[in-house]
Amino acid sequence: GNACAQEQELTELRAKIDSIETSRKNLQDEFQSSIHKKEEESTRLRIILQEARDKLSRLQAENEKLRNENSDAVNSMSDMLNDAVRGRAEVEMSLQESIHLLEQQKRMDIKKNSQISKMEHEVQILQTKERYQETLIASLKNQIKRGM
């Protein structure tokens, strides 16, 4: 009876290990693809940001040139350019914010990954128990044989 109960316990232990392993693997995959997506998005935003900066410096250069050719028409153009420059700066700010946010989310993902490590550790502990269980069953079976 005892060996039977031990085998039942072993079966349950293995099922538990399997289920933890499965969810650990799922988390791991999720983590990988999430990090990958965020890195791609960061890269995309950095490119947009760089383009915005280039455009901004071109606008500022044009603006300077115009300011030097001072006239009424030029002044109103200059105002329009100033507005455009300000608009660009705002776009740049919000891009910076988006990049910052993505970095934060990436850090959260990395934290989630430490949960995965904890699960791996738990699996190791359970596998040790499993081996112990197997040894116990083998010795119980031996005792039964000897008792006959």
Cα dihedral 128, 134, 137, 141 sign: negative
Token digits of residue 68: 């030097």
Token digits of residue 24: 């650990």
- What span, in angstroms and rounded, lies between the C-alpha atoms of 82 and 51? 18
pTM of the model: 0.44
CB–CB of 57/100 below 8 Å? no
Q: What is the mean pLDDT of the chain?
A: 84
CB–CB of 85/63 below 8 Å? yes
Residues 59-110 pLDDT 10s: 888 888 877 776 666 677 778 778 877 888 887 888 788 888 888 888 888 8
- What span, in angstroms and rounded, lies between the C-alpha atoms of 27 and 17? 15
> What pLDDT was estimated at residue 76?
76
If pLDDT is split at 50, 70 and 90, which confidence band does 138 have? confident
Quick check: helix, strand or coil at residue 29?
A: helix
